[in-house]
Structure 1
């Protein structure tokens, strides 16, 4: 009888341990409501949870920002944008540090790419002459960046001196490559593209093959 009790207790402990491990890792997140500055999230099909910005669930999902119809969440140091009424966001278990992407030059020799900043979609132009990832005010606002809290400076442009703010971007994604904590520069005016500068590119191995530019993440 005692041996049976010991075995049953061990089995219960083992099952609880497995259950706790499953809860510690969010695999799917859905935005089901927005209440002012709060977001209502469903994680792994569980009961809806209302979060304030900066709050984290027991599954490890942190709310970074909220807009009228979307939210930006973070898990395991990676950010994702979740759209209200959209399909749940599935979170990959791992993101390879050796991720690679190929970009092909357009008729003018420019390498363009679709990507995201802090989960917001942007259009990149690879610019090795830019020290930082540089974006206009409108793109910064869509990415939830309060750039006026950044470091104010001035930059020489074709139209003369312009105000710019140095900021920290939570993450920058191009294809399967995601880099966390990238230095950025926000211009007071809008830009036609986000300049993919060296604060992102210096973490890549870059290889040219004809009109193809291959980026491979180094770290």
Structure 2
């Protein structure tokens, strides 16, 4: 009877465990635990969930002695299923920016949501890190804070934020170190509906 009671208690605790990753950073992560959002730093515990490690690509958590590795917008519950809702929640950081992670042509990089940019924009340094042959694109000149710079119009094979994937996304690659962050511009954002409230930006797939 004691073993049965222990088993039932364990099953009940697992059934109540619902964990979703909403944002990832180096050494910390925003987790949604049983409907309550919390920024956890490495080693911290919230509602029985401990963040063991985190980087911009994944979080390692522990619950009830079991470890789980999750990426952005992944979700676990008693059945350990991945979240299929095509919705991404982004919190404004302490610099008042909406930063998140995007998978560009299969590689992950931090991006800045920028509704003022018509196209996604990358520096040539970003492009090299992502393996983009940008010099094969259409050359042009753009104005930057440092003056005029050579740029190249390219098509990104795919861009994904959470579970929201867009194919053949127009972008511009600027020679040099500008922009300092990859700009997630309207050539991607046109594929989502956006809602901003209380310093939280929610992206939802349109289809």
TM-score by length of 2: 0.57
Runs of at least 5 residues in structure 1 that lack an aligned partner in the other structure: 1-94
- The count of aligned residue pairs is 125
After the TM superposition, list the runs of 4 or more consecutive aligned residues in structure 1 that deviate by more than 6 angstroms: 95-98
Q: Which residue of 2 aligns with 1:200?
A: 188
Q: How does 1:177-216 map to 2 (within 5 A)?
A: 177-190=164-177, 191-216=179-204
Q: How does 1:76-91 map to 2 (within 5 A)?
A: none
Shift of residue 144 of structure 1? Answer: 2.0
Q: How does 1:89-128 map to 2 (within 5 A)?
A: 99-128=86-115
Shift of residue 96 of structure 1? Answer: 9.9
- Tell me if the contact between 1:98 and 1:218 (Cα under 8 Å) persists in the aligned partners: no
Q: Distance in 2 between matches of 1:96 and 1:177?
A: 12
SS of corresponding position for 2:127: helix
Q: Which residue of 2 aligns with 1:152?
A: 139
Q: Distance in 1 between matches of 2:83 and 2:164?
A: 8
Q: Distance in 1 between matches of 2:130 and 2:83?
A: 24
Q: CA RMSD in A?
A: 1.9
Q: 1:168 aligns with which of 136, 155, 173?
A: 155
More strand by share: 2
TM-score by length of 1: 0.54
